[in-house]
Structure 1
């Protein structure tokens, strides 16, 4: 399998520090976006630790095996961040969301904790692969909140899972067949809160990857970009 990939990251228009991090290793067939938890100290340290954990993985043609390595590395990072958070005078949280993609052998595997998302574009349609680990998503799943009201909910920024948030980190995974022409998008919520899935579909459908990434970033900036924005876009090529 061959890959074409582009990355965009931007501090946004209201933040002074970019707490997002990313990893792009097409030679290993793995990509990651990490979003340091807003409102907590050292979010940039947490997201950088997540990316560092992924950087040490050994190459594997099997995305399931690569994902297993990634989950183990993230659990080590989780322990490190919890220990780091308790070194100060007052306990605090140093955490980060993570969403990753492993590709190889005609298969894909996504892994995630938090509300950073993965989408797959194929044959003119787009699907969200990941399910947000967030309070509002739990309310939607329980039938207590209309999905259309989720983004406007006062607790829409409350996530229920992240690397560094609790001693027992559970990372969800999901995968399937990857075909030539498939496009995968990994993104922090600085993107997905500001553009719709339909707008993402339109960008991926009609433009080369560089232009699609630029178009999505421009949309976010035009709408005020209240948060850091990071996206990784990967297209599967034949051969």
Structure 2
């Protein structure tokens, strides 16, 4: 697959999208780099956390493939520092850890998606390409919204303003919020979100990705996250936006 047949590798301004591969296992890092370059992307590689943070802060990347277990500093620390700097680059976390708590920590730190090792290059590319397939779902959502509790959401800047603070939204959280708002006339199922926001080829997968992201999004936009009134759960069906 080349960039001529892969629209996901081209940014809106016509340039190639750039991907940073952060992986300390050299053979795997080279394999990922070669796969994404073959798919039409530009790629760079970092093998430790300190280098990754420096390169990510200065490199103008569109997406980071980030291993969690790194020398220097962990991938989780790198992610937290990037989000603290208000970097909104999309981040796909790689983990050999099967513990759900590690995955939850990754999402809470600002990851947009995750993959467990081992994985196939084809699956990784599908996840990467899905990150850029926003379609038109955000176009119908207002870019700036005033919410209860004196909370303001700016979807264009991926920011939430509340209690005198500016809280960054991850690109994935922005996608979810825009989708819920655009479809506020009906219940949005987990399957809808997996197919239309995550762009999985099938929703017949066992994953708590949707639920974890909804919890994180509620913490940012709900006046009382423990008593959600904006993103409400419709038992047995999914979620609905009630603003």
- More helix by percentage: 2
Relative contact order higher in (CA < 8 Å, ≥ 6 apart): 1
Larger Rg: 2
**TM-score after normalising by structure 1:** 0.28
